Amino acid sequence: MTSISTESQRTALSWKLVPAGLVSASGVLLFGAENDVGYGVLALGLVTAAFIDRGLMRHLALIAAGMVIISLVPLNADLSIQHMILMGGALALAVLVPWLVSRFVYGERIIRFPVKTGRKWPLTAKLYLIGVVLLGYFILPAYLIRTGVYQNWPDASDPTIFWRLFLGVNAVGIWDELFFICTTFTLLRQHFPDWLANILQAVVFSSFLWEIGYQAWGPLLTFPFALLQGYTFKLTKSLTYVVTVHLTFDFVLFLALVHAHNRDWLPVFLY
């Protein structure tokens, strides 16, 4: 009986993976390829889910809503005030709409943003932050300069652009954790094993980062990062910690971008 039950669970999981996989793959099309076919794939995922598991369909619809909202605005490093307001508003809605629907329409408390957990960070968590700095220091300048993708971000020689770039990099970093980890990963965990939910969210996460500017061999960097952020959130259950990790990495990214555009600035980098 146990083996039959296990086999039945595997079959059910396989069927549920079809619509979830379609939703995840639509992110590659919408953000990675900037192809409107992604909307069709996204819709097909939701329709398929409606026939397989209505609960899954409801949660995929929340993820899809956020993805559609952010797909409607250009996702680039244009630092004009108009674009920053437009993109900032879209990113905010992409988090707020799923949370509001889940909380007040579905009557759920699944999507949470745990800031105060009451737990102290252990030594390993603090050492991990140091490791993040070191990885960023050795990897980011080489990646940005050798591939030329640093040109996807503006030259921050002008003080106004300098501070707007700093604000933009950090704001997007925080949003990544709110949507991809606290929303997408959390909702997918209700239906899939953690490792599978993490892979599904990482596909969309890294696709979004591709459109933001992490191109060339960027996915070899962003996909593992997305997986690590999901795994870290699973372990710590702390938005504060995963945001700290992300902003620590992004601070090195910001410095590396400034250095890439102006090689005489910040000569601390090896590349």
CA–CA dist 264, 259 (Å, integer): 7
The yes-or-no verdict on residue 129 having pLDDT over 60 is yes
pLDDT of residue 265: 79
The yes-or-no verdict on residue 135 having pLDDT over 80 is yes
150, exposed or middle or buried, with CB in 10 Å at 0-12, 13-18, 19+? buried
pLDDT of residue 179: 98
Contact between 64 and 23 (Cβ < 8 Å): yes
**E strands in 40-133:** none
Kindly report, residue by residue over 163-213, the tens digit of the pLDDT.
999 999 999 999 999 999 999 999 999 999 999 999 999 999 999 999 998
Nearest Cα neighbor of 248 from 77, 120, 131 is: 131
> How far is C-alpha 76 from the geometric centre of its chain's CA atoms?
15
pLDDT of residue 12: 77
Helix (H) or strand (E) holding 142: helix 123-147
**Vertex 33: Cα angle to 173 and 44 (nearest 5):** 95
Kindly report, residue by residue over 51-64, the tens digit of the pLDDT.
999 999 999 999 99
Contact between 46 and 57 (Cβ < 8 Å): yes
pLDDT tier, 78 (very low <50, low <70, confident <90, very high otherwise): confident
Residues 20-38 have a mean pLDDT of 95
Nearest Cα neighbor of 50 from 41, 40, 60 is: 60
pLDDT of residue 6: 73
| Domain extents in the chain | 2-261
pLDDT of residue 254: 95
Q: When comparing pLDDT for 122 and 181, which is higher? A: 181
pLDDT tier, 5 (very low <50, low <70, confident <90, very high otherwise): low
